[in-house]
Amino acid sequence: MSVLVVGSIALDHIKTPVSEHRDLLGGSASYASVAASFFGPVRLVGVIGEDFPPPHRQLFADRGIDLAGLEVAAGKTFCWSGEYEQNMNNRRTLSVELNVFEKFQPKLPESWRATPYVLLGNIAPSLQRNVCEQVRQPKFIVADTMDLWIEMARADLLKLLGEVDMLILNDSEARQLTGEDSLIRAGRKIVGLGPRYVAVKKGEHGCLLFGRDGEFFSTGAFPLEQIKDPTGAGDCFAGGVIGHLARTDNLSFTNLKEAVIQGTLVASFCVEEFSLRRLEKLSGDEIAARRKAFGSYIA
Amino acid sequence: MSVLVVGSIALDHIKTPVSEHRDLLGGSASYASVAASFFGPVRLVGVIGEDFPPPHRQLFADRGIDLAGLEVAAGKTFCWSGEYEQNMNNRRTLSVELNVFEKFQPKLPESWRATPYVLLGNIAPSLQRNVCEQVRQPKFIVADTMDLWIEMARADLLKLLGEVDMLILNDSEARQLTGEDSLIRAGRKIVGLGPRYVAVKKGEHGCLLFGRDGEFFSTGAFPLEQIKDPTGAGDCFAGGVIGHLARTDNLSFTNLKEAVIQGTLVASFCVEEFSLRRLEKLSGDEIAARRKAFGSYIA
């Protein structure tokens, strides 16, 4: 089954304690669509400027991603600049230039409105809701979000929660959204706010998955000795989750657990290199090999 | 098979944001021996003062713990006073009165020297080594430790690592011991320092288990909405680990994983009440029921 991915497409400037890189392919939709492409056909909705480097566009094409929903607008591509501290857990945004993204309104090609699996990558909840209005009878909608929207657009986000099947956010965001210190209480509270499921990402500590009927799943991260660049790991996780669900077309909780594991694995590759450089070279066999090892690591 | 537990026995004064309790049964050996007693016979080595409340002693007896190695010394029992912050993750020691513990030298009854499974609860590494010298051909020795010893007695601790089969410590202690930010690198480094295995406890995030031959296991914590008092959770974890190993007398990595799960479950009961109040009422059936639920939570 096909996956529709909507989100940001960006040029990232990233500083880590050991290096600095400019004009990297970034943005929630870039990471998520490439991650999902390892599982089946992907349709990308987003906007880029006239300056978008052709090699970046080629990367999407090489992954077989359908770009009929990729709008090229007059002006420059959205640009994010950030810096990581030594332990890679703390990120500081240095600058954000919205550029063409400022007026972005997702427009789904008519034939894409019936896409069964939808990932609303991390963008403003109002834009995510706009996409919900355009799709027809989707089987499963996953929405990713972040602290910025919980702080700036809480009302929109709460409305969105009534329209999606799964929310993805990280541990501190789950605490921020609910006011609960305990992640267990936070997760259970979020599934009371609308979504059937919530996945709480915990970085190196893995992920918790909660269902509205008391379902629960906890998994660790894939063990990595070194992380080069954590940017996009959460987007790749979301892309892997929706990709696996679309490939299997099975919405049982057992299969949702497997989707969380697949998302975890794709994210584990993502952080091994800057931008999408690792995923660019990644093969399905490598994911399968890591899945096999992971099986013995968690049970 | 029998388990020998050595460690501290204390009277704890504990303050949390919601309540305060005095003269609670505490200490690493108290928690660990009671936890291990759910799996089979336990022999306790420790020291108490003349003021030790008879009900506390009765609790050990009720759990069938052999107290032939429990020394009663002239003076007062070791006393620890601490305070927890709102989120229960940060603990502050308010006072420590060593009392009879100051001159404690573990003395194993002659017939206990051949105990096959040994838990060196969290006390000074020199005392833990002293016990290693007294036991004869043990099958498996587990040692627990803490930040204090890494800071104050690093040389002793490093010597101890060459004499034990498994070290247990928490995430920040693993980082402190190795100087590694990454827990994966830290864990792999520790198994290079002597112990065949290391278990890195991560509180609400569960536990990582590393083996010297590259074995790895990651498990989450049992999901609890509320934690009343985290004191002793790590000791109960260690008690559950050694208890399961002794009960099964199987040192395969597959069984070590199960030991880590059993330790996780006993610890999950411990934190539901102050001191050993929850374990006092706990049944093997309750552990088995939680094990069954946990199975669906992690795989």
B290/A18: higher pLDDT = B290
The CA distance from B32 to B222, in Å, is: 18
**CB–CB contact B225 A185 (8 Å):** yes
Answer whether residue B28 shows pLDDT above 80.
Answer: yes
Report B:166-225 residues touching A (Cβ under 8 A).
181-185, 188, 202, 204-206, 208, 216-221, 223-225
Average pLDDT over residues B162-168: 98
CB contact under 8 A, A218 and B220: yes
Q: Which residue of B has its CA nearest to A216?
A: B297
Cβ separation A216–B202 shorter than 8 A: no
Residue A86: the pLDDT is 77
From residue B124, alpha-carbon distances to A125, A144, B143, B146 in Å are: 54, 48, 11, 9
Q: With CB atoms and an 8 Å threshold, state whether A218 touches B216.
A: no
Q: Which residues of B touch A219 (CB under 8 A)?
A: 218, 220, 298
Contact B181 A86 (CB under 8 A): yes
Q: Mind listing the pLDDT tens digit for each residue in B208-243?
A: 999 999 999 999 999 999 999 999 999 999 999 999
Mean pLDDT over B48-54 rounds to: 98
Q: Chain B closest CA to A229's CA: distance in Å?
A: 14
pTM score, whole prediction: 0.95
Structure token pair of residue B266: 């006993």
In order of their start, the domains of chain B are: 3-298 (3.40.1190.20)
Asked if pLDDT for residue B180 goes beyond 80, the answer is yes
Decide if B225 and A188 are in contact by the 8 Å CB cutoff.
Answer: yes
Residue type (1 letter), A72: V
* Amino acid B87: pLDDT: 72
Q: Which of A150, A171, A152, A145 is CA-nearest to residue A235?
A: A145
CA distance A83 to chain B (A): 18
Q: Is the pLDDT of residue B86 over 80?
A: no
Which residue among A182, A205, A299 sits closest to B298, beta carbon to beta carbon?
A: A299
B299 interface with A at CB cutoff 8 Å? yes
**How far is CA B144 from each of CA B8, B121, B171, B252, rounded to the nearest angstrom?**
12, 5, 13, 20
Looking at residue B178, its pLDDT comes to 98
- Pick out chain A residues at pLDDT < 50: none
Contact yes or no for A183/A151 (Cβ under 8 A):
no
Which residue of A206, A208, A223 is in closest CB contact with B184? Answer: A223
Write the residue in A182, A185, A224 that is nearest to B184 by C-beta. A224
Distance from CA of A205 to the nearest CA of B (A): 6
Instruction: Write the DSSP string, B22-73.
Output: EEEEESHHHHHHHHHTTTS-EEEEEEEETT--HHHHHHHHHTT-EEEEEEEE
Q: Which residue do the tokens 């359908």 mark?
A: A66
Residues B271, B252 contacting (CB under 8 angstroms): no
Beta-carbon-side half-sphere exposure of residue B215 (alpha carbons within 13 Å): 17
For chain B, the maximum distance between any two Cα atoms, rounded to a whole number of angstroms, is 52
Note whether A220 contacts B224, CB cutoff 8 Å. no
Shortest CA gap B209–chain A (Å)? 9
* Residues in chain B within 8 Å Cβ distance of A264: none
As given in the structure block, the two tokens for residue A114 are: 């019936």
Helix (H, G, I), strand (E, B) or coil at A125: helix
CB B67 within 8 A of CB B60: yes
What is the predicted ipTM? 0.93
pLDDT of residue A87: 72
Whether the predicted pLDDT of B188 surpasses 80: yes
**What average pLDDT is seen over chain B?**
96
> Does residue B243 contact residue B39 with C-beta atoms inside 8 Å?
yes
- Inter-chain touch B299–A298, beta carbons under 8 Å: yes
Whether A218 sits inside 8 A of B298 (CB atoms) is: yes
Give the sheet arrangement for strand A79-84, strand by strand: A20-26, A10-15, A79-84, A91-97
Residue B209 contacts residue B186 (beta carbons within 8 Å):
no
Mutate to test the interface with B, among A184, A185, A191 (most CBs of B within 10 A): A184
The DSSP H or E segment spanning A71 is strand A66-73
Residues in CB range of A178: below 8 A, 6 or more apart: A185, A186, A189, A190
Would you state the pLDDT for residue A91?
A: 84
Summarize pLDDT for A5-59 with one digit per residue, the tens. 999 999 999 998 888 999 999 999 999 999 999 999 999 999 999 999 999 999 9
The Cα A235–Cα A232 span in angstroms is: 5
CB contact under 8 A, A298 and B298: yes
Contact: B181, A224; criterion CB under 8 Å: no
CA nearest neighbour of A203 among B230, B147, B271, B202: B202
d(CA B149, CA A262): 40
Residue bearing tokens 């669906």 = B296
Residue type at A259 in one-letter notation:
A
Q: Which helix (H) or strand (E) holds A129?
A: helix A125-134
* Span B93-121, average pLDDT: 96
Whether B198 has a pLDDT exceeding 80, the answer reads yes
Pairing relation of β-strands B197-201 and B79-84? unpaired
CB contact under 8 A, A218 and B221: yes
Inter-residue contact B47 to B104 (CB < 8 Å):
yes
**Would you say B20 and B83 are in contact if contact means Cβ atoms under 8 Å apart?**
no
B93 in contact with chain A, both atoms CB, cutoff 8 A: no
Task: Please check whether residue A209 is in contact with residue A256, taking contact to mean a CB–CB distance below 8 angstroms.
Answer: yes
Contacts of A185 in chain B (CB under 8 A): 225-226
Partners of B185 on chain A (C-beta within 8 Å) are 225-226
What is the token pair recorded at B189?
């480094």
